[in-house]
Amino acid sequence: MRHISTTCPYCGVGCGVRATLADGQLTAVAGDADHPANYGRLCVKGSALHETLGEQGRLMRPRVDGREVAWATALDAVAERLAATRREHGKEAVAAYLSGQLLTEDYYVANKLFKGFIGTPHLDTNSRLCMASAVAAHRRAFGADAVPCSYEDLEEAELVVLVGSNLAWNHPVLYQRLKVAKTRNPLMRVVVIDPRVTDSCEIADLYLGLRPGSDARLFNGLLAWMADRGRLDALYLARHTRGLDAALAAAREDDVSLAAVAADCDLDPERLETFYYWFASQLHVVTPFSQGINQSSSGTDKGNAIINCHLAGGKLGLPGAGPFSITGQPNAMGGREVGGLANQLAAHMDYDSPGAIDRVTRFWSTPSLTPSLPEAPGHKAVDLFEAIERGEIHALWIMATNPAVSLPRADRVRAALEQCPLVIVSECVADTDLLAYADIVLPASSWSEKDGTVTNSERRISRQRGLLPPPGEARHDWWIICEVARRLGYGEAFAYAHPAEIFDEHARLSGFENLPGTPGERLFDISGLAWLDRAAYDALAPIQWPVTAAAPRGTARLFEEGRFATPDGLARLVPVRPRGPEQALCAARPLRLNTGRIRDQWHTMTRTARSPRLMNHRPEPFIEVAPADAAAWGVSDQQLARLRGAGGDYVGRVRLAKGQRRGEVFVPMHWNDRFSGAALAGRLLAAHLDPLSGQPEAKQGAVALAPLAIAWEATLLVAPDLAGEADWREEAAYWARIPLAHCQRWQLAGTPESADRDWLAWVTRHLPAATLWLEDPSGGRLRAAGIEAGRLRWWLMVGPPGELPGLAWLDERFAEAARDEALDGARRRRLLAGGDAGAADSGPVVCSCHQVGRSTIVTAIRDGDASIEALGARLACGTQCGSCVPELKALIEESSAA
Ligand SMILES: Nc1nc2c(c(=O)[nH]1)N[C@H]1C(S)=C(S)[C@@H](COP(=O)(O)OP(=O)(O)OC[C@H]3O[C@@H](n4cnc5c(=O)[nH]c(N)nc54)[C@H](O)[C@@H]3O)O[C@H]1N2
Ligand SMILES: Nc1nc2c(c(=O)[nH]1)N[C@H]1C(S)=C(S)[C@@H](COP(=O)(O)OP(=O)(O)OC[C@H]3O[C@@H](n4cnc5c(=O)[nH]c(N)nc54)[C@H](O)[C@@H]3O)O[C@H]1N2
Ligand code: SF4
Ligand SMILES: [Mo]
């Protein structure tokens, strides 16, 4: 048995993971007690990592034009076709679309190849959909894309203001740290600013459920309120900043009376004033902000409106103080460091930094090769796909992202991909929506196989370590890129034998001509990590940049001296004129659409859906609706409904949500064509962009809501080897595929045309051997099961899913079948009932770590275990990662109210 430390590949918290290997298998993961991001904690996604590995479902061999080929053939094809595209259409006809899920080393060589040697500016990343507005706001305020704070600042703050961040679900370990800090310091206050009541409100002393998109108005109001009440830090403003007057004047272009701001934000003026008072009277304020701010057509301004208030109050560069952009992806930061955005060059140098193009050119030159860098920024993500639509881009290489799902106007993106003459996709998983559009598919190694570094939200660089060999012929992304570079004639500039050498070059570039007081000066400097040999790189301990000769142990907090990365060293307050969402509501689409994340899924589900444990919390695509709206639009809880948006429809199950504002609905961003018939959030959204950052407005769409017309609902469980999906979806107005541990669950609903489906005929046609059959034609109810040679092959229930038994018992029967064990007579008799007659269904899973269901919990509460501690002692729920505690509390409240 061996233990290896590595870093979690999911969110930007960047937790250290201790992996246990036995007999060449990763058998367990645990939090790394020594890692300063998590000190031993892991959330449910991190602790299920070992369940998402394995060869099944992985891409194993390269494919060119639909045929499996050897690596040499695939790499030759990539190089030849890229070269031909450049020859025939110019270098700007070539583009790349990367991802914050690449390692820094992969990202660095991709950027170097495309911008430096192929010479195209059109290299952008999915960070455009994620952090681009925060990047632009940082650059305007601080002169560099630098997050000032550390996680410890969250713990040391007296006031924490979560704005557009559902930390409890999306950065669970950070949330747990905050929660513990709050228990230790009873004076600490937490404010949540989000149109939706989320689980993060569990620890909120004040919740501001503002009108979507009104954040800039709220923070402009705060700035004016502080100024009017003598709450500005005049000394800090005078010594370290510029722009207060202009920022205040812009804020005062609107009526900044409490009543007017509260009305615009749709808030209670007293609660608003409480927030203003708390913010103004505390020095140690941290404001974590995330996608509720960034994913907006005025996200950059919103970021600056927040930063303005911190600067104006001198709440920055101190322990427990600062605006804190919380990054999403594991290496969102690393991508920004290497220059992965289309408006950046490399190592925090941009097209507009004086001498930068020349500096990077000299640095990347080799004895016989001179790079040819572009002179101006390239297309940002959404524009890039429009350029493909216009026929300007002829070759696109996509790595580690799934734009067929995650970009707004998903169908137009798909049409653009369809028409692009060359689409190359580097991917780990065999079955994604994007792969259908790829001419060349390159199987990439994945987490646990690859070696490199990532940077988390607090600028901390950590190693991801290779633990296992990649399956089949999967190869590392950096290797694939360098092999293509070599074939294009750039071998000398890409002659790396190991990621350590790439990291070294990246570290050296960060320090290259980076001298204080010169035009080349950059805050991002990790020259202190240059010249690490393999052993030192392998042993690299987590460290926060800058890492320099002056700060060899890294830097926990930036701007402590009040010197910023602007030419005059002063931070800028930026005048902000609040704008509402670009997407207008209208009679045809009267509801505001909010999209976002759920606790147990990661993005397009390519990895998390492999863990049945993670599928269980929210097994189907859903629509959260305020109870009053549900009545108004004729839908009810658990009913299927349709949303109609800018680019198409979305079908999911209604969840009544008391915390949802009226006139607004929420859908998860995760579902896609692999898992449901019509549940692409990106199809509902138009592409309204922030003019400065190019980030799309993913949080403020416009939709109509209506019940879905269906004739029946059915649940079909099938053994993993039973394929017939096309048939099962036949005449389905809705379908969702839900992987369980030992079978696949299909949730189906029929179109009105299929109302008198003859189920016996249907089953005979599509499924083997129906041996048990129980029908109640008057009630439209039916249960049936297929048994072959004594083994369960499938199980069907026609009727409302509310009547489903707990599926664990049935799943276990499929496990027996897989082990080739025959059903015994007693179990066979109970098959249609789905288990022991008396056995209670444990209901949908609430605690994913210990797999405790809703009904089990409710029963325990009714039996008197009506506290978190009592439930934990009895059922163990909530005792591991803690993410379900808010849900447990809600159940306790509901049950005691009942
Ligand atoms: N479980 C899980 N965790 C993840 C991810 C995942 O896929 N799954 N993805 C990771 C990634 S890449 C990212 S970027 C982060 C994102 O992390 P978050 O930003 O926390 O995630 P979201 O759920 O997209 O949006 C956050 C909140 O913004 C709110 N919001 C919507 N409109 C507004 C508004 O106008 N104003 C304000 N103030 N709030 C608004 C939404 O209601 C939502 O609760 O999560 C990371 N962590
Ligand atoms: N409606 C709506 N849309 C959104 C958002 C939203 O809130 N609402 N959020 C946006 C945000 S913040 C983000 S970050 C994006 C995320 O959206 P995407 O980046 O499109 O989503 P992922 O599913 O993470 O895609 C990553 C892909 O890379 C593969 N992969 C994983 N590791 C590797 C690797 O090492 N190498 C290679 N080559 N491939 C790998 C995975 O299998 C997966 O297919 O979605 C954005 N889109
Ligand atoms: S909080 Fe984020 S980094 Fe930490 S274990 Fe969970 S998903 Fe991984
Ligand atoms: Mo993200």
Query: Of all atoms in ligand 1, which is nearest to the CA of residue 294?
Result: 19
What pLDDT does residue 122 have?
98
Dist. CA 228 → ligand 4 center (Å)? 37
Residue 28, helix vs strand vs coil: strand
Q: Is 807 left (phi over 0), alpha (psi -120 to 50) or beta?
A: alpha
Dist. CA 601 → ligand 3 center (Å)? 12
Dist. CA 202 → ligand 1 center (Å)? 16
Question: Are 585 and 591 in contact, with CB atoms under 8 Å apart?
Answer: yes
Dist CA 114 CA 79 (whole Å): 12
Dist CA 646 CA 116 (whole Å): 38
Estimate to the nearest angstrom the gap between the alpha carbon of 418 and the chain centroid.
25
Question: Are 385 and 413 in contact, with CB atoms under 8 Å apart?
Answer: yes
Question: Are 608 and 614 in contact, with CB atoms under 8 Å apart?
Answer: yes
Would you list the DSSP string of 271-340?
HHHHHHHHHHH-S-EEEEE-HHHHSSTTHHHHHHHHHHHHHHTT-SSSTT-EEEEPP-STTHHHHHHHT-
Query: Of all atoms in ligand 2, which is nearest to the CA of residue 667?
Result: 1
| Residue of minimum CA distance from atom 23 in ligand 2 | 604
Dist CA 400 CA 101 (whole Å): 6
Dist CA 624 CA 628 (whole Å): 12
| Residue of minimum CA distance from atom 32 in ligand 1 | 292
Question: How close are the terminal C-alpha atoms of the chain, in Å?
Answer: 51
What pLDDT does residue 731 have?
85
The topology (CATH level 3) of 591-707 is Barwin-like endoglucanases (2.40.40)
Dist. CA 56 → ligand 4 center (Å)? 27
Place of tokens 């048939």: 727
Residues with Cβ within 8 Å of residue 284, at least 6 apart in sequence? 156, 157, 158, 159, 315, 318, 319, 320, 321
Query: Of all atoms in ligand 2, which is nearest to the CA of residue 450?
Result: 35
Nearest ligand, measured from the Cα of 597: 1
Query: Of all atoms in ligand 3, which is nearest to the CA of residue 38?
Result: 4
Query: Of all atoms in ligand 2, which is nearest to the CA of residue 130?
Result: 12
What pLDDT does residue 841 have?
64
Estimate to the nearest angstrom the gap between the alpha carbon of 768 and the chain centroid.
40
Dist CA 681 CA 70 (whole Å): 37
Is the CB–ligand 3 distance for residue 37 below 6 Å?
Answer: no
Q: Which CATH number fits the domain 2-52, given the four candidates 3.30.413.10, 3.30.70.20, 3.40.605.10, 3.30.200.210?
A: 3.30.200.210
Give pLDDT < 50 ranges for the chain: none
* Full 3-state SS string of 124-167: EEHHHHCCHHHHHHHHHHHCCCCCCCCHHHHHHCCEEEEECCCH
Is the CB–ligand 3 distance for residue 326 below 6 Å?
Answer: no
Is the CB–ligand 3 distance for residue 699 below 6 Å?
Answer: no
Give the gyration radius of the chain's Cα atoms: 27
Nearest ligand, measured from the Cα of 173: 3
Nearest ligand, measured from the Cα of 405: 2
Dist. CA 295 → ligand 3 center (Å)? 22
Nearest ligand, measured from the Cα of 10: 3
What pLDDT does residue 839 have?
55
The structural domains of the chain, with segments of one domain joined by +, span: 2-52, 63-129+334-544, 132-326, 591-707, 712-829, 845-897
The topology (CATH level 3) of 132-326 is Dimethylsulfoxide Reductase; domain 2 (3.40.228)
What pLDDT does residue 881 have?
85
Backbone angles phi, psi at 82, to 5 degrees: -65, -45
Running DSSP on this structure, what letter comes out for residue 607? Answer: T
Residue 718, helix vs strand vs coil: strand
Dist. CA 296 → ligand 4 center (Å)? 13
| Residue of minimum CA distance from atom 10 in ligand 1 | 328
Q: Which residues line ligand 2 (CB under 6 A)?
A: 99, 101, 126, 129-130, 291, 295, 328-329, 399-403, 405-406, 426-429, 432, 444, 446, 450, 477, 595-596, 603-604, 606, 669, 681-682, 685, 698
Is the CB–ligand 3 distance for residue 46 below 6 Å?
Answer: yes
Tokens of 780: 């439209």
Dist. CA 291 → ligand 1 center (Å)? 5
What pLDDT does residue 348 have?
95
Is the CB–ligand 3 distance for residue 151 below 6 Å?
Answer: no
| Residue of minimum CA distance from atom 2 in ligand 3 | 11
- Its CATH architecture, for the domain 845-897, is Orthogonal Bundle (1.10)
Query: Of all atoms in ligand 2, which is nearest to the CA of residue 425?
Result: 38
Residue 685, helix vs strand vs coil: coil
Is the CB–ligand 3 distance for residue 314 below 6 Å?
Answer: no
Query: Of all atoms in ligand 2, which is nearest to the CA of residue 446?
Result: 35
Nearest ligand, measured from the Cα of 695: 2
Tens digits of residue pLDDT in 85-94: 999 999 999 9
Estimate to the nearest angstrom the gap between the alpha carbon of 286 and the chain centroid.
22
Q: Do β-strands 241-242 and 571-572 pair in parallel, antiparallel, or remain unpaired?
A: parallel
- Its CATH architecture, for the domain 63-129+334-544, is 3-Layer(aba) Sandwich (3.40)
Is the CB–ligand 1 distance for residue 11 below 6 Å?
Answer: yes
Tens digits of residue pLDDT in 138-152: 999 999 999 999 999
- Mutating to test ligand 3, I would choose from 13, 41, 169, 884 the residue with most ligand atoms within 8 A of its C-beta, which is 13
